[in-house]
Every structure is written in structure tokens, then in C-alpha cells.
Amino acid sequence: MKPLIIANWKMNPTSQDEAERMIIETERLESEGCEVVLCPPFVFLNKTTILKNVKVGAQNCSFDDAGPFTGEISPKMLKEMGVDYVILGHSERRSSFNEDDDIIHRKVKQALRNGLSVILCVGETEKEREEGKTDNVLQRQLAKFNSNLIVAYEPVWAIGSGRSCDPKTAEKARLLIEKIAKPKRVIYGGSVNSSNAGDYISSFSGLLVGGSSLDIIEFGKILKVVQGV
Ligand code: PGA
């Protein structure tokens, strides 16, 4: 199984031209030894048709296929346009858009029904870790799920903070996640860069990369580390 490396561009970049340039540059990176999935904002998905070496994912989707849901994008629409993956339950969706475990569960079910591969993000906040609640949080976030998911362990305090999680601590979380949900894979996310990618890839079968995936040279370096080249 090749390592799975997800590029989560979040709400970046802000122009079609910039997105096109970044998509082309990502396609050109050396990636034979891993599976790269690019998750740009919805409005740039139509630019990804040029991709051959890189698969395409979305950063979110609705819990229904069609209907009166203003502003939403459905998993059926994504599948129909050639998208293979979707990130669900990201901590930014949980905290800034009030997505709870119930909504996330509905979204995951609908995405799977439409044949999308789901990357479900889980992870504790700093406060929850300090209070010793990490295990409970992971149990709760994974309670309703079974084996057909890719789970991304993303400790919330490590996301976008430059404070990556100690690899041993991350490994403990991985073992627990595997026990609870028996996922297809467990990947790590949270301030991944080319200097720490090697620490995680030895125990996780992939990485979810945010900020560092916007810098295509740095993202290329991460891919090199992962492929051992
Ligand atoms: P980061 O983001 O790499 O910028 O920490 C990871 C993520 O949120 O998926």
C-alpha cells in the first residue's frame, strides 16, 4: 500500500490563475511512490481535469444528494465530476461551522453511498488533552463508524500552529483509532512539513498536509521524504 498524501488547500488560493498554476506544479512533482490527493476549494475542482498523477478530493460535502440546501455541494455532484475523495469532520468544520458528530455521520454515510473515499478527521483539543480526555474524544468521534474509512488523526492544537504532535504520542492515538474503528488507513495531520514528515510516515500510512501543501516546493520535499528519494 503506497503512502497516501493529502494536500488540503483549505480556502486558498484566491484566484483561478493562481489555482491553475499550483495545480499544474503539483502534477509535475515526483510522486510515483505514493498516492497524492489534491483537495482544492470547490470552485477550482474544474481545473483539476488535467491531473493524471494526482487524484482529486473535496474538503466537504452535504449529507444529501440534492434538494433545498442553499450553498451546499452534494457527494453525488462531486462523484459525477470525477472527484474520488472527500475530507469530512475537519476540526475547522467542527469548530467554525458547528458540525457535530451527528451531522458528520450523515455526511460520511451519504459520501460512502456515492462511492467517495472518505477521509474522516478526528482529534482532541489542547484542553481535552490536558484534561486526559483524548481517548474519550476519539471514542466519541469514531463511535458510529466501521472499517471502510480513512481516518486522519489531527490533534486540533497541532493544526496550523507549527506545533506538530510528538510522534510517540501520535502513535498511541493511531493504535487506539485502529482498535476502535478498524479503518482502511490511519494518516497523520497537523503542522506536517518536510522536516517532520519522516517521523510520522514510519508509523502512519499517510499524511494530511495543510499549510505546507500551498508551498509547492515544500510539498515536493515532503513527497520526497515519504518516498525515500
Ligand atoms: P496544517 O493543516 O498542515 O496547516 O497544520 C492540516 C489540516 O488542517 O488538515
Query: Does pLDDT of 109 surpass 90?
Result: yes
The residue from 32, 90, 171, 218 that is catalytic is 90
Hey, how many other C-beta atoms are within 10 angstroms of the C-beta on 95?
11
- Could you tell which of 95, 209, 215 is best to mutate to test the pocket of ligand 1, judged by most ligand atoms within 8 Å of the CB? 209
Q: Helix or strand or coil: residue 103?
A: helix
Mean pLDDT score across all residues of the chain: 97
Q: Report how far ligand 1's centroid is from the alpha carbon of 196 (Å).
A: 13
Q: Helix or strand or coil: residue 17?
A: helix
pTM reported for the whole predicted model: 0.97
Hey, whose CA ends up nearest to atom 7 of ligand 1?
A: 210
The CA–CA distances, whole Å, from 208 to 17, 67, 190 equal 25, 31, 7
Helix locations, the chain, DSSP H: 16-28, 75-80, 91-96, 101-113, 126-130, 134-142, 167-181, 197-201, 216-227
213's enclosing H/E stretch is none
Residue 164: the pLDDT is 86
Question: Facing residues of 86 across strands?
Answer: 58, 118
Query: Does pLDDT of 227 surpass 90?
Result: yes
Residue 102: the pLDDT is 96
Q: Helix or strand or coil: residue 139?
A: helix
Question: Facing residues of 89 across strands?
Answer: none
- At 125, the pLDDT band (50, 70, 90 cuts) reads very high
Query: Does pLDDT of 114 surpass 80?
Result: yes
Query: Does pLDDT of 173 surpass 90?
Result: yes
Q: What is the mean pLDDT of residues 4-14?
A: 98
C-alpha cell belonging to residue 93: 468544520
Ligand 1 closest atom vs CA 8:
9
List pLDDT tens digits, range 77-107.
999 999 999 999 999 999 999 999 999 999 9
Per cent of the chain over pLDDT 70 is 100
- At 145, the pLDDT band (50, 70, 90 cuts) reads confident
Residue 147: the pLDDT is 80
* Dihedral of the alpha carbons of 6, 201, 3, 227, in degrees to the nearest 10: 100
Ligand 1 neighbourhood includes 164 CB (under 6 angstroms): no
Q: Report how far ligand 1's centroid is from the alpha carbon of 208 (Å).
A: 7
Q: What is the mean pLDDT of residues 23-33?
A: 98
Ligand 1 neighbourhood includes 155 CB (under 6 angstroms): no
